[in-house]
Amino acid sequence: MALKTKEMSALEISRINATGYHHVGGVSGLVLQVSKTGTKSWLMRVAVGGKRREIGMGGYPDVTLAGAREAARHP
């Protein structure tokens, strides 16, 4: 059974600085990736043909939280 992630707000997203993947909630598979240099980008993690794939959805803040959620809901 998959865990349900608490939905983050836009303010919470802007405050994330820790390197790695951060599940933002609201849409299954939507994550914010923070690189070692501090750049942030949106990824959609899905399974295609039994393999995990990451689909880039754009950089933060050019793509907002609402925009990323909307794009993830309607691919």
Print the domain residue range for 30: 16-73
Distance CA 20, CA 10 (A): 18
On whether residue 7 sits in a domain, the answer given is no
On whether residue 31 sits in a domain, the answer given is yes
On whether residue 9 sits in a domain, the answer given is no
On whether residue 44 sits in a domain, the answer given is yes
pLDDT tens digit sequence for 11-64: 999 999 999 999 998 888 999 999 999 999 999 999 989 999 999 999 999 999
Sequence-distant (6+) residues with CB within 8 A of 21 are 31, 32, 33, 43
User: pTM of this prediction?
Assistant: 0.87
On whether residue 2 sits in a domain, the answer given is no
Domain count, the chain: 1
